[in-house]
Structure 1
Amino acid sequence: MTASQVVSDVADEFWRCQSRWQPNLHAQAGLPVEHLPKGSHEEASSRASQARGLVGRLDALESGELGGDDEDTVRFLRHFAEVYAGEADHFWLTPAGTPYQNLVQLLVYADSVFAPHQFGAMSDLDNYLGLAADFGGRVEGLGELLQGQQERGIFIPRPALSGAIASISGLKTSAATSLAVDDVRLAELGPKVKGLLAQRIEAVVDHQIAPAIDKILGLLDSPAYAEAAPDGVGLSRQPGGEEAYRFLVRRETSMDTTPEDLHRLGVEQCRELSERMHEVRSALGYHGSEAEFRDVLRGRRALFAQSVQEVEKRYLGYLSRIEPLIGDYFSVLPKAPYGVARLSEDVEAGVTFGYYEAPTRIEPMGRYRYNGSNLSERSLLTAGPLIYHELIPGHHFHLARQFESVELPDFRRYAAELCGAFAEGWAEYASGLGWEMGLYDDPWDAYGRLAHERFTAARLVIDTALNCGWWTYDEALSFMRANTTESETQLKSELLRYATDLPGQALGYRAGFLGISRLRADAERRCRTQFDIREFHEAVLGGGAMPFTVLEPRVSRRLPGRPS
């Protein structure tokens, strides 16, 4: 067996295991899902062990035996194995019960497993009910995780507790809605089957999911839990939390960096961007302080939509400006169409912004799902940079293309969620292309982009400071007030996201942006006058999302430099 065949076999086996560990990825591939994991420590340990075993089969290979794409796959597999091992080691520090975590728990399976499920035979009905019961088991697993954390002295911090309780309470209604099946999907099985399915789903909700949620609420909403919960936020407030956070920094950035390095970088970036914002304010004729200018922004009627229809019109207007320019920067485009749609209103209260919803075989359009609540507090100053980040040439160009790249091993086609710095860094880099495209020539658009950039740079500062215990919540809030244009409501939601919900995740935006920008600068130096921006973008996007430890040698290999 050749080295390439060994790599291919290991990659295929890894995908078969991964689709059991993360069945939402299996569903994205258009394959039937038969079981949902519970999310237990035993499952995490088993996943780490299996991944190490598979990667161990690659140890005998010599690097000289492998071609470029195979080298990428081997590095990728090793990265996955290291991540799974770290997740098992730090399992009990896994954030749980908080709004973004609950949103993921529900939406990942609601959108990828339950909504696309087709009913052509009675066996499909039985399979669906089995999955519904597994989802109930997932909720039970959440309760077991929270109980296990409590036994180890790990608690949801007190400032985040009320939001967690409200979010979990909402899961009961949301779960019932997500499991319900419309008439269209049941057309081939008849009305009697519809009634039977509704009864059995109701039984799963009433006898499994609802009791599991009530048990969780009984745990979290007790005086004993509230008394034991820490007043301060951030992983370092928990036993073993700082070590877990340092692992998350490596996982989320896929770079050889530390919280200290990222913190210093964020502070410097915020200073530089603040100076550029000062220059734009001067060009607009405002010579007072930035705090005074924020009052101008809050009072500028043009920056606030009066309806969700107006929000969508604003986003689509920005898209129409970039669309004629895309061909100058990209040689390969995704086939899937794109658009915007509002989030479900019952989840809007728990999240700050929105998210990109990738196309699937059942729903072939990629969409930015935006938060349409509290429009009077949601400035559209950064609407342009945001939609370029979320759709084109950001997440949609990356994720839709990746799913369409049938030449990639399956585990790489559906692996974006483990490459956060690539995914978010690419989207930020793509949004930044607006500078050279002339999309930020208007001073208001320029100010919006700079504010957006500084917001992501501030995340480097705040995420590290809170989770390493260097700053208090109030100190972090003060820094964010000085370095963002967001509302007080949004800032408080963001801080809890960094410190209690998704620690480390927010680092990927600016760290990834700077990483891709550095790779481009290096390629421009190597290729000099023969540098082609479309070739660079294809070198970055053509292999799908990947750790920066894999991306850097890939770009160097594909753009090695040429004599001028």
Structure 2
Amino acid sequence: MANHSADSPDGSAAREVDRLAASYWDFLLAREPSLRSRRGLPVESLPGVSAAEADERAGFAAGVLNRLGALRPAALPGPAADTAGFLRALAEQEAEAGRFHWLTPTATPYQLFRLQQYGDAVFRPFRFEDRGDADRYVSLVRDLARCVATIGDKAAGQAARGFRVPAPALPGVRTTLTGLRASVTRYVRADDERLTLLDAASRGRLRDAVAGLVAAELEPAFDRLLALVSDPDYLGRAPRAVGWARYPEGEAAYRAFVRTYTSGDTPPERLHELGREHCRELGERMREMRGTLGFTGSEAEFRERLATEPRLYAATPQEVEARYRGHLDRLTPLLPRWFAVLPRAPYGVARLDPALEASMTFGYYEPPTAAQPVGRYRYNASDLAHRSLLGAAALIYHELAPGHHFHLARQAENTALPDLRRELVAFSGFEEGWAEYAAGLAWEMGLYDDPWDAYGRLAHERFTAQRLVVDTGLNLGTMTLEQARTFMRAHAAAESEGQITTELLRYATDMPGQALTYRAGHAEFTALRAACERGAGAAFDVRAFHETVLAGGALPFPALRRRLARELPARPAVVRSPGRGT
């Protein structure tokens, strides 16, 4: 047996890894409101997006990489090896972010989303018990104004360096900023019901201070940013074409974004080819499923049928929720056959803030926090007459169970992990890849036995596959926006023209590379499971595979491969993998 005692070289290296993880955690906990909220700690400050803050984070990451470089990976025991792999990838991401600070979007709808999250995670749940709380709240409102100001400063600095939001995305930017200005200035004004524990003088000072900051700093910061993206000079110089390769050093930045988001080293050219291959394969399966539904016409004709099929549309948000809950109710009794450990935190659905719905294609998963202990999918209920529920089953299995909630809630509940690995969501390839793998697992569970749900899942898979094509094509400069629109329209089942437009702008102007994580991550998990099945043969235990993946929390894929190779052979097979369709 290997000697990992405290005095051995292995033990010394493991302790150094633990110290690095604790140091990184303390660094981030002091700067990230979301981490403090999840731990039930008071939020003391809100970060901005200034170059100085980016340099500080990149400098800290460089120090971590230097200390990791002095260690011998082979000397690390299993858990420490996982943590070292986590730390190295995290620090490399932060260093890349610092390098490409001025080429990273900031004044775009998804990037601005943090301002709405501060309302849900910081300001609305804020508890006022004494004057100190009132003073801290005022300080947070001041920080929020500074955060908006740094977004404006960065956008102006980018423009001076030749980086502007492309013209096709600017209307959505202005709409988002206008909506956020109204939402943010509303949510920082604490209502009287929350101030009952404060004396009258403290309540008055709080109201006056907040009103003064809103008028003197917060609203002007929004107005300056809106003025910048509305200025005729900015509009005149904004590029008409989209994609990162069109900016100086943009292609290098995009390749870094792809590495960060996918947590792997597959080049974007190969992901582009993979997307085309998957689109062809999934298109054939969809053709077969249309036959099962008794339809013999073309896909274009079937798309017209989908647009008018009553069962695929809801009239009210309540009907949308009922559809999602029905799919979850079918899943629940099957879970113990596939998972050895289930999350303790409950999960549910709730509507997205209507102010955000116009600029977001779908919704998002909201993980449990100390203040809000339920994991929720925040769904988009806008324009229901044109918002198909064809993929509702696939979507909710991705967003909640056994997808995001099983990963993120289990990770947060796992006290064997260092705080950094429990609380940080750092690797999108793992996060979205697991959720897509989990939604695909529903094939084996028999949850797509309804042909409409099956077609919806296939359509969803092809939707994520086409992202590999258009995201890379747009950002490498091999596809124009219209070429990408044509390709996406040909490979979309029920998405409206508005949704397609929003998605394309997300890829090419807002979050370049992020959309790759779904299908690229799914491919990684599928390959990992196939390798484990080949290695174990008839003894393969699907519950052991899932537990080995989830018990380690999110990891970059190279580290996850090492973890699976290390952990699974030592596990005795108890439960065989259920057959497909069970």
Q: Which amino acid in 1 is paired with 2:14?
A: S
Alpha carbons 2:466, 2:488 under 8 Å: kept = yes
- Give the structure 2 partner of residue 228 of structure 1: 237
User: In 1, are the aligned partners of 2:347 and 2:405 still within 8 Å (CA)?
Assistant: yes
Partner of 2:482: 474
Partner of 2:3: none
Aligned pair partner of 1:548 in 552, 557, 576: 557
Residue 240 of structure 1 and its aligned partner are, at CA, apart by 1.6
1:489 is aligned, of 469, 475, 498, to: 498
Q: For residue 427 of structure 1, what is the aligned residue in structure 2?
A: 435
Residue type matched to 1:544 in 2?
Answer: G
Q: Deviations over 1:332-367 (max 9, x none)?
A: 111111111101111111111000011100111111
Alignment of 1:310-459 (within 5 A): 310-416=319-425, 418-459=426-467
Question: 1:41 deviation in Å?
Answer: 1.1
Counterpart-to-counterpart distance in 2, 1:187 and 1:338: 31
Worse-matched range after superposition: 195-204 or 276-285 = 195-204
Whether the 8 Å contact between 2:263 and 2:427 is mirrored in structure 1 is yes
Q: Is the 8 A contact 1:176 1:202 kept in 2?
A: no
C-alpha change, 1:122 and 1:527, in structure 2 (3 Å) is same
Q: Which deviates more from structure 2 when the two are superposed, residues 234-243 or residues 152-161?
A: 234-243
Show the counterpart of 2:4.
none
- Mean alpha-carbon deviation: is it higher for 194-203 or for 216-225? 194-203
Where 1:281 maps in the other structure, the secondary structure is: helix
Identify if the C-alpha distance between structure 1 residues 212 and 120 changes in structure 2 by more than 3 Å, giving closer, same or farther.
same
Does residue 54 of the first structure (1) align with residue 64 of the second (2)?
Answer: yes
CA contact (8 A) 1:21 1:47 kept: no
Partner residue in 2 for 1:102 = 112
Matched letter for residue 505 of structure 1: Q
Are residues 1:44 and 2:51 paired?
A: no
Match of 1:307 in 2: 316
Deviation at residue 192 of structure 1 after TM alignment: 4.4
Residues in 2 aligned to 1:186 and 1:133: alpha-carbon distance in whole angstroms: 19
Q: 2:530 corresponds to which residue?
A: 521
> In the alignment, what sits opposite 2:578?
none
User: Cα–Cα, structure 1 residues 561 and 262, in superposed 2: closer, same or farther, change >3 Å?
Assistant: farther
> How far off is 1:31 after superposition?
1.9
Is 1:34 aligned to residue 44 of structure 2?
yes
Aligned match of 2:30:
20
Contact 1:520 1:536 in 2 (8 A): yes
Deviation at 1:153, TM superposition (A): 0.6
Whether contact under 8 Å (2:324, 2:396) holds in the other structure is yes
User: Could you tell me how far apart the structure 2 residues matched to 1:329 and 1:180 are?
Assistant: 47
Aligned to 2:75: 65
Aligned equivalent of 2:580: none
The 2-side partners of 1:89 and 1:354 are apart by 31
1:168 aligns with 177
Aligned mates of 2:386, 2:278 — CA distance in 1: 27
Give a deviation string over 1:52-72, Cα, whole Å, max 9, x none: 213322333333432101001
Q: Report if aligned partners of 2:21, 2:420 keep a CA contact under 8 Å in 1.
A: yes
**Residue pair 1:305, 1:311 contacting (<8 A) in 2 also:** yes
Q: Indicate the larger mover: 451-460 or 438-447.
A: 438-447
Equivalence for 2:258:
249
Alignment check: 8 A CA contact 1:523 1:561 kept: no
Q: Write out per-residue CA displacement over residues 103-154 of structure 1, whole angstroms, 9 at most, x where no aligned residue.
A: 2x21332233323333222111111111111111100000110110110011
- Match among 92, 108, 114 for residue 123 of structure 2: 114
Q: Secondary structure at the match of 2:174?
A: helix
**Distance in 2 separating the partners of 1:113 and 1:52:** 30
Distance in structure 1 (CA, Å) of the matches to 2:64 and 2:572? 42
- What's the CA shift string for 1:520-551, capped at 9, x where partnerless? 00010111111111100011111111211211
1:75 matched to 2:85? The reply is yes
The one-letter code sitting in structure 2 at the alignment partner of 1:222 is D
How far off is 1:218 after superposition? Answer: 1.4
Report the TM-score when normalising by structure 2: 0.94
1:276 matched to which residue of 2? 285
Q: Deviations over 1:295-317 (max 9, x none)?
A: 01011011000111110111101
Residue 539 of structure 1 corresponds to 548
Whether 2:188 is the aligned partner of 1:179: answer yes
1:280-303 C-alpha deviation (Å, 9 max, x unpaired): 011111111100000010110110
- Residues 38, 370 of structure 2: 8 Å contact kept: yes
Q: 1:201 to 1:247 in 2, by over 3 A?
A: same
- How far 1:562 sits from its partner (Å)? 8.3
Greater CA deviation, 311-320 or 116-125?
116-125
- Structure 2: how far apart are the matches of 1:480 and 1:191? 59
* Aligned partner letter, 2:465: A
| Alignment correspondent of 2:577 | none
Structure 1 pair 481–185 and aligned structure 2 pair: CA distance change class (3 A): same
Across the aligned residues of Structure 1 and Structure 2, the Cα RMSD in angstroms comes to 1.5
Shift of 1:407: 1.8
Range 125-134 or range 144-153, more displaced: 125-134
1:191 Cα deviation from its structure 2 partner? 4.8
Q: Single out whichever of 25-34 and 427-436 deviates more from structure 2.
A: 25-34
Deviation at 1:183, TM superposition (A): 4.1
* Alpha carbons 1:340, 1:369 under 8 Å: kept: yes
The Cα of 1:202 is off from its aligned counterpart by 1.7
Report the number of matched residues.
562
> 8 Å contact 2:185–2:219 — kept in the other structure?
no
Q: Which amino acid aligns with 2:171?
A: S
Partner SS for 1:339: strand
Query: SS state of the match for residue 424, structure 1?
Result: helix
Structure 2 counterpart of 1:297, from 276, 281, 306? 306
| Stretches (4+) displaced over 4 A | 561-564
CA contact (8 A) 1:11 1:409 kept: yes
Q: What is the SS of the residue equivalent to 1:231?
A: coil
Moved more, 242-251 or 280-289: 280-289
Which of 154, 161, 170 is matched with 1:152 structurally?
Answer: 161
**Corresponding position: 1:127 with 2:136:** yes
- Percent identical pairs in the alignment equals 52
Q: Deviations over 1:188-233 (max 9, x none)?
A: 2245433432222222111111111111111110111111011111
Instruction: Name the CA shift for 1:441/1:27 in 2 (closer, same or farther; >3 Å).
Output: same
Distance 2:122 2:32 in 1: 11
